[in-house]
Amino acid sequence: MRRSASSARAPRRAFRLPAAGLAIVLGAASAFAEDTDLGETIAGRMKELFTFNRSAVVKIQSSDQHGQIEGTGFYADPSGTIYTITDVLGDGRNITVCQGMRKMPARLLVTDPRTGAALIKVDASTPFIPIGDSSKLEVSAPLVAIGYPMDHPVSANFGLIASFDKEYLNLFFRTTHVRVNMAVQPGLGGAPVLNFKGEAVGMVVAGVDGNAGCYVLPINAAEKMRTDYANFGELKPGWVGVSVEPVHAGAENLPSQARVANLQPYSPATRAGIREGDLLLRVGDIAVHAPEDVFDASFYLTAGADTTVTVLRDGVEKKFTVRAAENPYNAPAPDLTSLTLETSVAPPPTAH
C-alpha cells in the first residue's frame, strides 16, 4: 500500500529540534566534554604530584612494649629533616626510615605535645617537599596525601577540605585543624598533604568517622615547632597571662566577643598595660572574634619574643607590645593512637 506524504514525513518532524532545544543539547554536550577534560586534568595533576614527590615520602618503623609500629613521614628539607607524628615513633629509641630498599637510622629532634607532631632526622642528603602556606587554604580546595597505608607500597589519596575545626566532640584543639573528606588507613599518620601546587600544606594526624575522613595539622603549626627547634633547640611556646570570656548578651555588634576576664599577676599582659574588660581584637597576625580564637592566637606565641596585642577599650583601639614568657600551662601529649582522634584537645578557652 502506498504511504501518504504526511505519514512519510512524520518521523522527521518527531526528531527535529527547535533552535533553542538544539542549543541546550549542544551546550550539555560541551559541558560534558569540559567535565571530562577537567577530570582528566585533575587525574593528570594527581599523577604528577605523586610521581614527583613520592621519593620524599618515607615509611617510618619503630617499636614499643606492644611491638612494631609503622607510619609515614616526609622530608622537609634537603638535609634529612623529617616531619611525622609522635604515635609512629614508639619509645623513640630505635627509629628506622625506609626509602625504597634503603633503611637508615633516625634520631628524634623534638616533639610538640600540643599537636602530636614530631621532627626526626637522618644523616643524608635527601629530596624534599617544598613547604606551603596553610593560612591560604579554603573550604572545597583539593588536597593530595601521599603515604604508606597498612604496610602497602606508597600511594596517593585525594580529598576536599570540608571545614576548619577548632573543636571535636566539644573539646578544643590547641590550634585549628583542617577536616578533609579523605579516607585514611592505619599507616597514613604523618603523611604529607599537598595542594595542587605541589606544596606541603599539612600532614595527616587523625582519622575521623571510622576513618572515612581525617584531620590534617596545618603545616604552619608544624613549622612553628621546626622554627623553635632551629632557633632554640627545643619547643618554646609563649604565654601572656590573659583569660577571656564571652561578651555579655546584647553586645553582638562589637568587633570581638572575647573580653579579657582576668589577668595573671605580674604576667606579660599585665606588665604591658592590658586591663580586665578590654575586648581582645588581635594577637600578632591572628584576629580574635570569639573566645575560642585565643587558641590560634596563643599557639603561635614564642617565649621571649615580642608580639603586638590589639584591644578595644572604651571604644578606642589600643595596641600593646607584649613579650611572651614561658608557658606554665602546657597541655600533656595528645593521644592520636591508630589514627583515632581521642584526646588531641586543649583546655577550655578561659585557660589562655
**Of 70-79, 133-142, 252-261, where does mean pLDDT reach its minimum?**
252-261
Rounded Cα gap, residues 51 and 56, in angstroms:
10
Question: Mean pLDDT of all residues in the chain?
Answer: 83
Q: By CB neighbour count within 10 A (0-12 exposed, 13-18 middle, 19+ buried), where does 209 fall? A: exposed
Per-residue pLDDT of 16-74, as tens digits, reads 334 444 444 445 545 555 555 777 888 888 899 999 999 999 999 998 888 889 999 99
Per-residue pLDDT of 270-316, as tens digits, reads 999 999 999 999 999 999 999 999 999 999 999 999 999 999 999 99
User: pLDDT-derived band of residue 199, with 50, 70 and 90 as boundaries?
Assistant: very high
User: pLDDT-derived band of residue 334, with 50, 70 and 90 as boundaries?
Assistant: very low
**Of 157-166, 250-259, 313-322, where does mean pLDDT reach its minimum?**
250-259
Rounded Cα gap, residues 95 and 123, in angstroms:
13
- C-alpha angle 110-113-119 in degrees, rounded to nearest 5: 25
Rounded Cα gap, residues 104 and 227, in angstroms:
25
SS3 94: coil
Strands of the chain (E only): list them: 57-64, 67-75, 81-85, 95-99, 102-112, 117-121, 142-147, 155-168, 171-181, 192-194, 200-208, 213-218, 238-239, 242-246, 258-263, 279-283, 286-287, 306-313, 316-323, 325-326
Q: In this model, does residue 331 exceed pLDDT 80?
A: no
**Of 14-18, 50-54, 136-140, 330-334, where does mean pLDDT reach its minimum?**
14-18
CB count within 10 Å of CB 110 equals: 17
Q: In this model, does residue 227 exceed pLDDT 50?
A: yes
Q: In this model, does residue 332 exceed pLDDT 90?
A: no
Please, which residues bridge with residue 99 across strands?
102
Rounded Cα gap, residues 60 and 95, in angstroms:
7
Please give the residue that has the higher pLDDT: either 89 or 91: 89
**Cell for 261?**
576576664
pLDDT at 16: 39
User: pLDDT-derived band of residue 330, with 50, 70 and 90 as boundaries?
Assistant: low
pLDDT at 44: 86
pLDDT at 349: 32
Q: In this model, does residue 96 exceed pLDDT 90?
A: yes
pLDDT at 92: 82
User: Which residues lie below 8 Å from residue 293, measured CB to CB, with a gap of 6+?
Assistant: 166, 258, 286, 287
- Walk me through the domains of the chain, giving residue ranges and CATH numbers: 26-234+336-345 (2.40.10.120), 238-326 (2.30.42.10)
pLDDT at 286: 93
Please give the residue that has the higher pLDDT: either 210 or 339: 210
Average pLDDT (226-247) is 93
Average pLDDT (229-248) is 92
SS3 53: helix
Show the DSSP H helices in the chain as ranges: 5-15, 19-53, 219-232, 268-272, 294-299
Q: From the CA atom positions of the chain, what is the Rg in Å?
A: 26
Average pLDDT (171-197) is 94
pLDDT at 251: 67
Please, which residues bridge with residue 260 across strands?
244
In the numeric block, the cell 596585642 is attached to 309
HSE value, Cβ hemisphere, 13 Å, CA-based, for 21: 4
Among candidate residues 183, 317, 325, 319, the one with its CA nearest the CA of residue 268: 325
Q: In this model, does residue 178 exceed pLDDT 90?
A: yes
Rounded Cα gap, residues 52 and 11, in angstroms:
57
User: pLDDT-derived band of residue 111, with 50, 70 and 90 as boundaries?
Assistant: very high
pLDDT at 336: 31
Per-residue pLDDT of 116-131, as tens digits, reads 999 999 999 999 999 9
CB 309 within 8 Å of CB 322: yes
Q: What percent of the chain has pLDDT over 90?
A: 65
pLDDT at 7: 32
pLDDT at 265: 86
Per-residue pLDDT of 242-266, as tens digits, reads 889 998 766 668 899 999 998 988 8
Pairing of strands 306-313, 200-208: unpaired
At residue 53, what are phi and psi to the nearest 5 degrees? Answer: -105, -10
Rounded Cα gap, residues 277 and 87, in angstroms:
41
